[in-house]
């Protein structure tokens, strides 16, 4: 009875990995990749990337800037498994080895518009002090064999991590045919402005 409509919707995301704040580390580079469900497929753009190595600026901001472009388009039949961007940040340790400084992940925003997201970055932590010393000394820190684990919820209950920095990302999102398929994504969330909620620190 209904006219044949689209069965697939598109999500186009461009933007950048803007900058990072890691108070204790310097000379960092980052890698990104996307994790998505079975109903999703990338149709255009790059699925992974490695940025340049950046050093902290000498001024008072101590900024670590990458300004690294992201440009990808996905198609899907189902919002379940919405793509997440997984970031891994690496840097040299005291001995010159490349060690992981943080992993982080966030869902790509789904309302069309401009969004800014600052995500925390964490590293897995050894449990015993001896192992911590050995890994510092040998330059082989605990790391995930596949960074995509960070985008999943299962299996995390056994990991201990330490959060030690933040990365800021900017996204511009455009969707096609989501409304025709009946999905309501809400108002465009410009600049990632949060909804009404009391600011932290005030009594609830």
Cβ-based neighbours of 130, under 8 Å, separated by 6 or more: none
CB 157, min distance to other proteins, A: 4
Residues listed for the chain:
204
Residues that bind other proteins (CB under 8 A): 23-24, 37, 78-82, 84, 104-107, 109-111, 119-120, 122, 125, 150-154, 156-157, 159-166, 181-187, 189, 192, 194-195, 197-198, 200, 204
The span from the CA of 48 to the CA of 166, in Å, is 20
Cβ-contact 188, 112 below 8 angstroms: yes
Q: How far is CA 176 from CA 19, 53, 75, 162, in A?
A: 29, 36, 9, 39
CB 51, min distance to other proteins, A: 20
The span from the CA of 123 to the CA of 115, in Å, is 26
Nearer to other proteins, 140 or 180 (CB): 180
Nearer to other proteins, 136 or 166 (CB): 166
Nearer to other proteins, 67 or 152 (CB): 152
Nearer to other proteins, 92 or 192 (CB): 192
């Amino acid at each position: 009875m209904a006219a044949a409509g689209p069965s697939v919707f598109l999500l186009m995301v461009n933007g950048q990995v803007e900058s990072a704040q890691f108070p204790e580390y310097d000379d960092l580079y980052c890698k990104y990749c996307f994790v998505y469900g079975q109903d999703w497929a990338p149709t255009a753009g790059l699925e992974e990337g490695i940025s340049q190595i950046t050093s902290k600026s000498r001024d008072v901001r101590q900024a670590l800037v990458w300004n690294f472009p992201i440009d990808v388009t996905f198609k899907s039949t189902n919002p379940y498994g919405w793509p997440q961007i997984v970031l891994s940040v690496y840097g040299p340790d005291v001995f010159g080895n490349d060690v992981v400084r943080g992993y982080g992940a966030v869902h790509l925003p789904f309302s069309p518009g401009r969004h800014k997201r600052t995500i925390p970055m964490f590293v897995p932590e050894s449990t015993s002090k001896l192992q911590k010393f050995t890994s510092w000394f040998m330059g082989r820190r605990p790391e995930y064999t596949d960074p995509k684990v960070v985008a999943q919820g299962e299996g995390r209950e056994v990991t201990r991590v330490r959060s030690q920095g933040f990365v800021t990302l900017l996204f511009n999102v455009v969707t096609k045919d989501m409304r025709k398929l009946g999905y309501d994504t809400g108002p465009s969330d410009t600049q990632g402005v949060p909804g009404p909620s009391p600011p932290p620190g005030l009594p609830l």
